[in-house]
Chain A
Amino acid sequence: MTAMTEVQPARYSWGGDEFIFVELAEEMSLQANFRAMAITKKLSDARPDGVLEICPANASYQVQYDPDVLEPAELLALLQDLEQQVGDAHELALSTRVLEVPVLYRDPWTTETLMRFRDRHQDPNATDIEYAARINGYGGVDDFIAAHSGSPWFTSMVGFVAGLPFLFQMVPRERQIIVPKYLRPRTDTPKQTVGYGGCFACIYSVRGAGGYQMLGITPAPIYDPTQSLPDFTDFMVLFRPADIVKFAPIDRERYDELLAEVEAGTFHVTARPVEFHLQSFLDDPDGYNARLLEVLK
């Protein structure tokens, strides 16, 4: 993890007459994600006329543009230039935030839901979290929860549906949790379920279909289209790409207290501003993470 891996040239592809899609790496890595962040941040700062949407993703990004205003060839050249400027992104420094997200693991609501969909699961005799713990070689669910909540996560993409964060664990690859998605997607997932699929954690922003394993639930709202809760005064979506997340295990009693705060309109997610520096993180992930999380204390 300490060494930067070799950077492959990006792959550019046109999406019809209005989109350009850029894949920075075929496989997922924090480095590919940081390159996507760095390039899209530069593009966002420059904001040439004709650029309509800039969507950073896990190891890729896309831009929607108006070719009547900005020539496709000109946009392509600009993005290639930004790719060169960013390089391996090791100097990237981001002004971002650390958010503490309370989680009731093994909660009754996702447990009830997962029991209804056992016929779509790899291991019908276990719960999702028992299955995730076992296939990742943890001694038991408690060890799995300790690993899941012990290191921070990087918001590598926001999307799928409104405000849903994809989260990538900030640990060396050999310690990353990998969990397959359901064999066939569920038709139901409780709102604010903390899920896991492939190498990504997520928090479902709305109730609906889903294929990620369900590990628990957070009382913290992450999407509020009515903007009536205090965390949503400025915008209806809590997460932004590059937000750093620390999961904090809570018990049922604490969950009920926090839910009462949500209902009373007084709940706030703990969020602190931080500067994130990629090279410092890569040099000493565990030490850097520990210092990063100090801001929550």
Chain B
Amino acid sequence: MIEVLKPGLSTTVQDAGRTGYYHLGIPPSGALDQYSLRAANLLVGNPAGAAVLEAVYMGPELAFTDDAVVAVAGASMVPKVNGEERPLWESFPVSAGDVLSFAYLTAGARAYIAVSGGIDVPEVLGSRSTYALGALGGFSGRPLAAGDRLPVGSAPGASPGRSVPADLRPNVAKDIEVRVVMGLYDHRLSEAGRAAFLDSTWDLTPVADRIGFRYAGPELETVPREPPFGAGQDPSNIVDAPYPIGSIQVPGSVEPIILHRDAVSGGGYMMIATVLSGDLDLVAQSAPKTRTRFVEVDLDGALATRSDYRKRTRRLAEALGS
């Protein structure tokens, strides 16, 4: 059992996510940074997609009632056991009665806290992930609160001292490039609008959560048109359509929003591009003011990137002896 002494800013239980219910408005949820989820789990000997805690911007304070092995991956938020620092990207032991806390965030946005045995909340629709907007899954369908007691699964015998090799730790930068496939409704943009999207550097606004990440930058010019029946008057309006995870919508032609893993599943704003599935990890580690450029790739480029990502996760698994 883990007792939550302080919940942090917004800490939720997340795993690899749920599949099969998006057509009813229930998004995949799951760790926004799936690579760090894997790393944290493999470090403590869990299956790669076991349930962990995702802490955003500020870590929680947790008391352990049993001995366990813990690892923290993702954002640079240094863990401390009874006030003593422990390494990131490396497994370490905690004993019954120990308190795990965190130093201030220095880079990235989301830390993943894995505990040997995994966070053992009940599965809902095949996943332990929290979907807070729908009050579904995780711990009572919501972010953690002080006083919550989290069940932990029985540990398969993990070893402390495992470490992710330096070349398999992601770089977290304040300037990033996010690869996208243009499409969906990008024909609603004029040439100038399209160029402004791809040539500008966008600043992440504070409106950045598990549903979406909103960026500040220039207004995007659209092609004039007669609105089709049911679409609404604004040039950025469409007949309400499904939204791919990672799709970038531009309500009112300003402030693009990348939809992430708790996305609203559909709506009436034009989407102009979709972030590659692997690059959603990079978006997940963006803190407000992160300067972001969107780089266009075609489908072949997207598949090549996907293949690189797969190789990298295999190397991670090999390095951690799984």
- CB-CB contacts of B119-142 with A at 8 A, as 1s and 0s? 000001000000101111000010
Q: Are A14 and B229 in contact (CB under 8 A)?
A: no
Contact partners of B180 in chain A: CB under 8 A: 16
Contact partners of B241 in chain A: CB under 8 A: 21, 23, 57-60, 62
Interface stretch among B56-64, B150-158, B298-306? Answer: B298-306
Nearest CB on B from A222, distance (A) = 11
Given A15-B181, A52-B19, A161-B25, answer yes or no on A28-B230 (Cβ-Cβ < 8 Å).
Answer: yes
Q: Does A200 contact B (CB under 8 A)?
A: yes
Q: Are B25 and A15 in contact (CB under 8 A)?
A: no
Contact partners of B124 in chain A: CB under 8 A: 225
Contact partners of B232 in chain A: CB under 8 A: 180-181, 198
Q: Does B254 contact A (CB under 8 A)?
A: no
Beyond A52-B19, A198-B231, list 18 extra A-B contacts (CB 8 Å).
Answer: A14-B183, A16-B276, A17-B299, A17-B303, A18-B277, A21-B184, A27-B231, A28-B239, A53-B19, A57-B240, A62-B244, A64-B244, A159-B264, A163-B134, A197-B268, A205-B134, A225-B134, A241-B23
Point out which of B20, B24, B268 has the most chain A C-beta atoms below 10 A from its C-beta: B24
Q: Are B20 and A53 in contact (CB under 8 A)?
A: yes
Q: Are A162 and B133 in contact (CB under 8 A)?
A: yes
Contact partners of B229 in chain A: CB under 8 A: 27-29, 173, 199
Contact partners of B305 in chain A: CB under 8 A: 17
Nearest CB on A from B256, distance (A) = 15
- CB-CB contacts of A14-50 with B at 8 A, as 1s and 0s? 1111110101011111000000000000000000000
Q: Does A266 contact B (CB under 8 A)?
A: no
Q: Does B310 contact A (CB under 8 A)?
A: yes
Nearest CB on A from B242, distance (A) = 4
Contact partners of B278 in chain A: CB under 8 A: 17
Taken together as a complex, chains A and B put the C-alpha atoms of A164 and B184 apart, in Å, by 23
Residue of A nearest to B305 (CB): A17
Q: Does A196 contact B (CB under 8 A)?
A: no
Q: Can you show 6 pairs from A to B with CB atoms below 8 A apart?
A: A21-B241, A23-B241, A58-B241, A60-B239, A64-B22, A237-B26
Taken together as a complex, chains A and B put the C-alpha atoms of A55 and B244 apart, in Å, by 10
* Size category of the binding interface on chain A: 35 or more
Contact of B244 among A21, A180, A205, A223 (CB under 8 A): A21
Nearest CB on B from A202, distance (A) = 9
Contact partners of A206 in chain B: CB under 8 A: 133-135
Q: Does B77 contact A (CB under 8 A)?
A: no
Given A15-B247, A15-B274, A158-B25, answer yes or no on A198-B134 (Cβ-Cβ < 8 Å).
Answer: no
Q: Are B266 and A200 in contact (CB under 8 A)?
A: no
10 nearest CB pairs, A to B: A28-B230, A15-B244, A27-B228, A16-B274, A162-B134, A159-B265, A159-B25, A19-B244, A13-B183, A27-B229
Contact partners of A68 in chain B: CB under 8 A: 306, 310
- CB-CB contacts of B290-322 with A at 8 A, as 1s and 0s? 000000000100110110001000000000000
Q: Does A221 contact B (CB under 8 A)?
A: no
Residue of B nearest to A160 (CB): B264
Nearest CB on B from A283, distance (A) = 22
Q: Are A162 and B240 in contact (CB under 8 A)?
A: no
Contact partners of A57 in chain B: CB under 8 A: 240-242, 266
Q: Does B246 contact A (CB under 8 A)?
A: yes
Given A57-B242, A58-B241, A198-B230, answer yes or no on A159-B24 (Cβ-Cβ < 8 Å).
Answer: yes
Nearest CB on B from A208, distance (A) = 7
Nearest CB on A from B265, distance (A) = 4
Contact partners of B239 in chain A: CB under 8 A: 25-28, 58-60, 198
Nearest CB on B from A185, distance (A) = 10
Q: Does A54 contact B (CB under 8 A)?
A: yes
Contact partners of A158 in chain B: CB under 8 A: 23-25
Q: Are B135 and A225 in contact (CB under 8 A)?
A: yes
Considering only residues 49-77 of chain B, those with a C-beta below 8 Å from chain A are none
Contact of A166 among B240, B276, B277, B306 (CB under 8 A): B240
Given A16-B275, A58-B239, answer yes or no on A225-B136 (Cβ-Cβ < 8 Å).
Answer: yes
Q: Does A67 contact B (CB under 8 A)?
A: yes
Q: Does A87 contact B (CB under 8 A)?
A: no
Taken together as a complex, chains A and B put the C-alpha atoms of A113 and B183 apart, in Å, by 38
Taken together as a complex, chains A and B put the C-alpha atoms of A58 and B243 apart, in Å, by 12
Contact partners of A150 in chain B: CB under 8 A: none
Given A16-B277, A200-B230, A208-B133, answer yes or no on A55-B183 (Cβ-Cβ < 8 Å).
Answer: no
Contact partners of A205 in chain B: CB under 8 A: 25, 134
